[in-house]
Structure 1
């Protein structure tokens, strides 16, 4: 049974463009303080109805490919019944069904256990809300 649970809110400003924001460095800084070299689980959760968490490669075009795929699957047009905010905003409310608002990841020896090219990213297509919170919770 674990005896340590630590949680913190990470504030992220995504701006007015659709974005994939790499959180990996900030997550590791949190684990450096919270895990103290222990094994456990990290839960990453975004408490917003229009954003998600993805574990993907970044910097080699995959982040742009993800946004392009979301444009294909969820066009920003007037087809959506949920209508407020900017044109096509209803699609932003469908995003978490495809890019979930959470990820639970292993922590080994206080380090996030990711594959060589994997990063933990906030995916935000909502241009109307540039201020996001991401809850990081370590159990170990």
Structure 2
């Protein structure tokens, strides 16, 4: 049985444009505070119907490529049944089916076991909701 379960909510302002917001440093900081060198699991969760979490390379264009791929798969037009909000907002409600609102990562020695180029990111295509929360939970 795990020794501890600790959780923290962080607030993220995503702005008025579609974004891929890097959470890696916030996750690492949380683990430094609570894992104290232990092995376990980090769960990252966003309680929003129009945002998701992904592991992706950032800074080399992949984050922009992800947003462009989502624009192609989920165009902001009038095809969506869910019609409140900004034009094409219905697509934002489909996003979490493709980019889920959760990720669980292994923690070894108090640090995330990420690949060399992997970052933990919040993906937000909803330009009408600029304030997001992300819950970080450590079980270890």
**Corresponding residue for 1:51?**
51
**Corresponding residue for 2:126?**
126
* Aligned counterparts of 1:22 and 1:81: Cα–Cα separation in 2: 31
Q: Are residues 1:27 and 2:27 paired? A: yes
Task: Give the count of matched residue pairs.
Answer: 140
Query: Alpha-carbon deviations, 1:42-71, whole Å to 9, x = none?
Result: 000000000000000000000000000000
Normalised to the residue count of structure 1, the TM-score between the two structures is 0.99
Q: What do you get for the CA RMSD once the two structures are aligned? A: 0.4
Query: Alpha-carbon deviations, 1:86-134, whole Å to 9, x = none?
Result: 0000000000000000000000000111000000000000000000000
* Aligned counterparts of 2:99 and 2:113: Cα–Cα separation in 1: 20
Tell me by how many angstroms 1:3 deviates.
Answer: 1.5
SS at structure 2 position matched to 1:8: strand
Normalised to the residue count of structure 2, the TM-score between the two structures is 0.99
Pairs within 5 Å for 1:67-106: 67-106=67-106
SS at structure 2 position matched to 1:37: coil
* Aligned counterparts of 2:2 and 2:27: Cα–Cα separation in 1: 20
